[in-house]
Structure 1
Amino acid sequence: MSKATVCPNCGGSDIDNDQSRGNAVCVSCGSVIEDNFIVSEVNFQENSLGGTSVIGQFVSSEGKTGSSLGGNFRTGVGKESRMITLQRGKDRITHIGNQLNLNNHCLAIAYNFFKMAVQKKLTRGRKTDHIVAACLYLACRVECTPRIL
């Protein structure tokens, strides 16, 4: 993680590095200096039965998640269903995004939001079209693209 010493927006030097949220914020103006820190350390947690589990998850360069730390860690449960959900979401994002004349960068950002929602299990019990619309709206807001959904 690179330490930001000066805010590029206001020039302030009081930067709050929050490891738990993974961001660095200027205390003076509130600008997010750095977002989504990547932590390269592995932590373990002991449960009540004396077993251990990994805190966090492995992310490969291809974007696949899982654990490569041994056979005692359960990964890949429900992987096929998740892949189907991601593919359907990507198809819907592409279809609706093309109707709104959004560029590929906005579609990629919306798909990343969709993947986060699936990973955090925020899609269960909700219609895919509603999740897709929310992800496209977020992508438009992040990219300052004026669209009404």
Structure 2
Amino acid sequence: MNALMSCREHPDAILIEDYHAGDMICPVCGLVVGDRVIDVGSEWRTFSNEKDAKDNSRVGAAENPLFDGGDMSTMIATGTASEAMKDEFGKALYKNRRAVSSSDRALITAYREIAQMADRLNLPKMLVDRASTLFKQVHDSKALKGRSNDAIVSACMYIACRQDGVPRTFKEICAVSKVSKKEIGRVFKLILKNLETNVNLITTGDFMSRFCSNLGLSPAIQKAATHIARKAVEMDLVPGRSPISVAAAAIYMASQASDDKKTAKEIGDIAGVAEVTIRQSYKSMLPKALELFPQDFKFSTSVENLPTN
């Protein structure tokens, strides 16, 4: 504590701690540098030869803002002044809090589910904290009272992924959740509306790297697919199509023009898009295929010989 504080008049003086008042005092001029300092030591001496050598510190655990009441792990016994509630010196007993409120129980369950979903999706701890904080906000607002916690957890995970710049599709969230894609989408919209939060618009580039990596495609094909998808959107060749469908169709076109061809079904299984949806987007892009490919792309199959369906 001394290393963090110093007297402004005597910066080199070693501060003295008044344990009774909880003050840090300068020994030269008597200036109180800090007050309300918590003593983290034991309340009485302990000896190494005692059988019960546990450290009876009473400072409690660190507060956790994700729980109601700070999730303090100790509490002072209350009620009538019976002998059972006091120690041998007549002081009130401090007991571990065994009873968990229903609100905290729901939060604990939700946070555990968020952590498990993140683990299945291989997401970092920072994103778990973001999703947990978002769930706490929804829980405290009571705006979605009546909705299942599983749906809220899934929607919070989806929003956290979007806000953290590592978006996942509804189907990917649904695959590690207990609720339907439709229900996740419905709760997602309700959270955005009631909490007045926002998420960035999804683009084709958000998924391209992950999809191509999972398909085992080379960086050259990934670069071509990214270029094709961006140009297709700029030229308005795929109006109304989701960025995921456009990304999948662009990967299909780039792979078919290379020597590492992937079928629409293989791409659909990775992207979570129906094979027919990929083919429909691909057909919309095919007439302008020559303009979509980057100039330095090395064709294994010419544009004229690309599949027509």
TM bucket normalised to smaller: 0.3 to 0.5
More helix by share: 2
More strand by share: 1
Higher relative contact order (CA 8 A, sep 6+): 1
